[in-house]
Homo-oligomer: A and B are copies of this chain.
Amino acid sequence: MRIADIPTPALLLDLDRLETNLVQMAERAQHLGVRLRPHIKTHKCIEVASRQRALGAAGITVSTLSEARAFVEAGFTDLTWAFPLIPGRLDEVMDLARRARPAVLIDGPEAVAALSAAGTALRVFLKVDCGYHRAGVDPEGELVLTLARRLTDADHLEFGGILTHAGHSYHCRGHEALLEVARQERDVMLACAARLRTAGIPTPTVSIGSTPTMSVIDDLVGIDEIRPGNYAFHDLSQVVFGAASVAQCALTVLSSVVSSQTGAGRSIVDAGALALSKDSGPTDLGHATMGAVFAHYASSRLEPEIHLTALSQEHGHLNAELPVGRRLRILPNHSCLTAAQFDSYYVLQGERVVDRWRVHRARGG
């Protein structure tokens, strides 16, 4: 099968670009002297994670329990659920702990109390807010010491260390701006680890990472582990941030023009919100497209003037009049959300389909 034979819309994964991305980040981690625990929420794919493991990844990071179960089933037993523990799903974590070595994440006393009450042996990370202000405790407050001490003192719990995610790098453009956030992410965590250790709390692992910050950081002395995910595929947003080039983007959506009226100056493609997601990318950085378009479906060059202006459920609105039947490859704003809309990847080498890989996703996560 070749790219010309694939029914649209379809999720395409360029194998050579994927391998290059995986090798580059593995080499960066080795060069920087840190373990790489890739976030598999980007690809939700056993075959991609197996390649990451073969390149030296020290376990994986997941964002949902359904991801955790799928990867444990496939033999990935060393995993961190990098999402604040959902109190009502602790029984599922305990079930996983009977089959694998999951680490969980907490950032408040309620979760510590729930874990203590459950009595299951678990490794627990303390989530720290390095400036993103989503989840995580204040690294300079008292709570970080209190919670770390409770985790250390709990009989059956193992304090894994501290963990953060510099999600605010997704609002930066350019190497210098990204480097500033990357250094903040690192320095906040080094200072926090020092506070814990000064207070007599052993802190085994300091874990950081986002694709933009890990793509630019130059020194990670004192950091143990990084958890980027998006780097496997990259996407149009990473190009806007300056964290990747178009030539590094491995994931695209193959689409067909299905409607085009002479003189209208626009057309409709069969990739809408249920193919590309409704992620509008970094609009705060002036980004104003729902997806870029390659000049030809086997090209690496983006059309400078053609892009998607809007998405409805199954319709993509193109700002150019192209003939019905024309096939386009679309570079999505957000590869993680795009991959999650599909059941499988068409894995390509050049124009040839060399494999189909499953996307493991379930129930709203």
Contacts and interface: CB of A to CB of B under 8 A. Distances in A.
A98 interface: no
B259 A364 contact: no
Contact of A7 (B83, B92, B138, B270): B92
Interface in A305-356: 312-315, 317, 323-325, 327, 336-337, 340-344
A193 interface: no
Contact of A280 (B63, B278, B313, B323): B278
A107 interface: yes
Nearest to A270: B86
A200 interface: no
Interface string A268-310: 1011011101111000000000000000000000000000000
B365 A274 contact: yes
Contacts of A275: 364-365
A94 interface: no
Given A324-B111, A341-B364, A365-B275, A86 B8 contact: yes
Interface in A129-174: 129, 133-138, 143, 167
Interface string A105-118: 00110110010000
Please classify how large the interface on chain A is, using the bins under 10, 10 to 19, 20 to 34, 35 or more.
35 or more
A10 interface: yes
Given A258-B83, A364-B10, A313 B325 contact: no
B11 A364 contact: yes
A340 B87 CA distance: 25
Contact of A135 (B88, B114, B268, B323): B268
A261 interface: yes
Nearest to A362: B343
Given A337-B273, A363-B10, A364-B11, A87 B167 contact: no
A9 B365 contact: yes
A85 interface: yes
A314 to B, nearest CB: 5
Contacts of A103: none
Given A9-B364, A86-B258, 18 more contacts: A9-B363, A63-B313, A83-B314, A84-B259, A84-B268, A85-B258, A87-B325, A107-B261, A108-B259, A108-B261, A110-B323, A110-B325, A129-B261, A134-B315, A135-B258, A135-B315, A278-B280, A341-B364
24 contacts: A9-B364, A9-B365, A41-B314, A63-B313, A84-B258, A84-B270, A84-B324, A86-B256, A86-B270, A87-B256, A88-B325, A134-B315, A135-B268, A143-B262, A253-B364, A270-B365, A273-B277, A273-B337, A274-B340, A274-B364, A274-B365, A278-B279, A313-B337, A314-B365
